Copies of this chain bind each other. A is one copy, B any other.
Amino acid sequence: MVTVEIRIELKKGIVDPEGKNVMKTLKLLGFSGVRSVKSIKVFDVELDASPEEAIKSGEEMCTKLLANSVIQDFKVTVR
């Protein structure tokens, strides 16, 4: 059994409204040192497979279901 971490984030240049709103709110709450906030989605997937197969599967999951390749990048790593 292997656990892969699938990390999905917006591509550079794509607006991140969630991140922007979190940054605004943090500043309103007094966190003045905040320079940027980026929102990221992660899935930890447990798989019956070898680490190499698991990474391949994870990438396939992203292209078929989890990520929108027009605006998102993904990275699959074994934990």
Contact = CB atoms under 8 A, between A and B. Distances in A.
A37 B26 contact: no
Report the copy number of this chain in the oligomer. Answer: 2
Contact of A40 (B29, B38, B42, B49): B42
A51 to B, nearest CB: 13
A47 B34 contact: yes
A69 interface: no
A6 to B, nearest CB: 9
6 contacts: A7-B42, A22-B65, A26-B65, A29-B65, A35-B46, A37-B46
Interface of A: 1, 7, 19, 22, 25-26, 29, 31, 33-49, 57, 60-61, 64-66
